[in-house]
């Protein structure tokens, strides 16, 4: 009885080692804060950090470029040397840009795919190789509602996120025998620095009108679902795509 109750208390991630890419901003930063509050040791791996060594505290910033296999390998080498294992990996690093299809250059298409899709593959493979050695783990990849439906101006971004969805499903199947769960969160509009840059007021109004709950999410509302999928409470969930979108994908005409 006590054991059952303990599993559901806030210390659900006590002793777990977690890596969150994109962990210094927006959704990733909210995940880092929640995981640390639940007892995990968290590495906030981000392009915007200058730090390449792990600190002693519960949260360590670490410099990584998810599009660069050597950089990702040095991240995992450092974490495994310090902690000997990785239990949870969240792929939140990402970039976005709204560009009409006819104006999308090959260079910007390649860049968005390199970070959002190829980066998720590179980090996921390093994560899985580490988790195989220690008997399992959980990976959560961040896609988007724009990877599940054709939003305007999002050929590169939407293709990268649609790719993340199917990549994650294949990973879930291939890695199940190793007790590694792989799931996807598909956020709707979330108030983060990325969206501040992508959504001018007119676009923001359209997203708000089109979302049944009538507002943007906070990063913490997305982080709650991500941390749940990492936790033992989700032990039978894998290969799942969970929209956290205020009803966006479930709706038709604006309410």
Ligand X SMILES: NC(=O)c1ccc[n+]([C@@H]2O[C@H](COP(=O)([O-])OP(=O)(O)OC[C@H]3O[C@@H](n4cnc5c(N)ncnc54)[C@H](O)[C@@H]3O)[C@@H](O)[C@H]2O)c1
For residue 5, what are its two tokens? 């109750």
Task: Select from 60-68, 73-81, 223-231, 236-244 the region that touches ligand X (CB under 6 A).
Answer: 60-68
Q: Where are the beta strands (DSSP E) in 143-233?
A: 180-187
Place of tokens 């089109």: 210
* Residues 6 or more apart in contact with residue 35 via CB below 8 angstroms: 13, 16, 18, 20, 42, 88, 227, 230
For residue 18, what are its two tokens? 């977690």
Q: Minimum CB separation from ligand X for residue 98, in Å?
A: 12
Q: Note whether 221 and 192 are within 8 A (CB).
A: no
Q: Minimum CB separation from ligand X for residue 21, in Å?
A: 5
Task: Give φ, ψ of 41 to 5 degrees.
Answer: -95, 120
**24 in contact with ligand X (CB under 6 A):** yes
Q: Among residues 125 and 134, whose Cβ is nearest to ligand X?
A: 125
Q: Minimum CB separation from ligand X for residue 177, in Å?
A: 28
In this chain, which of 32, 34, 35, 46 binds ligand X, going by CB under 6 A? Answer: 46
Q: Note whether 154 and 203 are within 8 A (CB).
A: no
Whether residue 157 lies in the annotated active site: yes
**59 in contact with ligand X (CB under 6 A):** no
Q: Where are the beta strands (DSSP E) in 68-119?
A: 88-91
Q: In the range 117-146, which residues lie near ligand X by CB under 6 A?
A: 119, 142, 144
Q: In the range 196-255, which residues lie near ligand X by CB under 6 A?
A: none
For residue 84, what are its two tokens? 């000997």
In this chain, which of 18, 32, 43, 64 binds ligand X, going by CB under 6 A? Answer: 64
Q: Note whether 89 and 124 are within 8 A (CB).
A: yes
For residue 28, what are its two tokens? 């990733």
**27 in contact with ligand X (CB under 6 A):** yes
- Active site residue: 35, 78, 112, 157, which one? 157
In this chain, which of 17, 190, 225, 230 binds ligand X, going by CB under 6 A? Answer: 190
Q: Among residues 205 and 235, whose Cβ is nearest to ligand X?
A: 205
Residues near ligand X (CB under 6 A): 21-22, 24-28, 46-48, 64-67, 92-96, 115, 119, 142, 144, 187, 189-190, 192-195
Catalytic machinery residues: 157
């Amino acid at each position: 009885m006590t054991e059952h109750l303990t599993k559901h208390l806030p210390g659900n991630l006590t002793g777990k080692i977690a890596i969150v890419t994109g962990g210094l901003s927006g959704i990733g930063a909210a995940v880092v804060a929640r995981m640390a509050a639940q007892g995990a040791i968290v590495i906030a791996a981000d392009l915007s950090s200058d730090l390449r060594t792990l600190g002693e505290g519960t949260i360590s910033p670490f410099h990584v470029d998810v599009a660069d296999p050597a950089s990702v390998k040095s991240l995992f080498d450092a974490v495994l040397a310090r902690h000997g294992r990785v239990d949870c990996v969240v792929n939140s690093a990402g970039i976005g840009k709204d560009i009409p299809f006819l104006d999308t250059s090959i260079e910007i298409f390649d860049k968005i795919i390199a970070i959002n899709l190829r980066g998720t593959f590179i980090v996921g493979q390093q994560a899985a190789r580490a988790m195989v050695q220690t008997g399992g783990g959980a990976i959560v990849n961040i896609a988007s509602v724009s990877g599940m439906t054709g939003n305007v101006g999002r050929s590169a971004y939407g293709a990268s996120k649609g790719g993340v969805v199917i990549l994650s499903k294949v990973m879930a199947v291939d890695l199940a025998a190793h007790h590694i769960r792989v799931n996807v969160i598909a956020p709707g509009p979330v108030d983060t620095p990325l969206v501040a840059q992508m959504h001018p007021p007119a676009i923001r109004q359209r997203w708000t009108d089109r979302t049944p709950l009538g507002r943007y999410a906070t990063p913490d509302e997305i982080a709650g679902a991500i941390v749940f999928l990492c936790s033992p409470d989700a032990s039978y969930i894998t290969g799942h795509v969970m929209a956290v979108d205020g009803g966006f994908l479930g709706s038709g005409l604006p309410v």
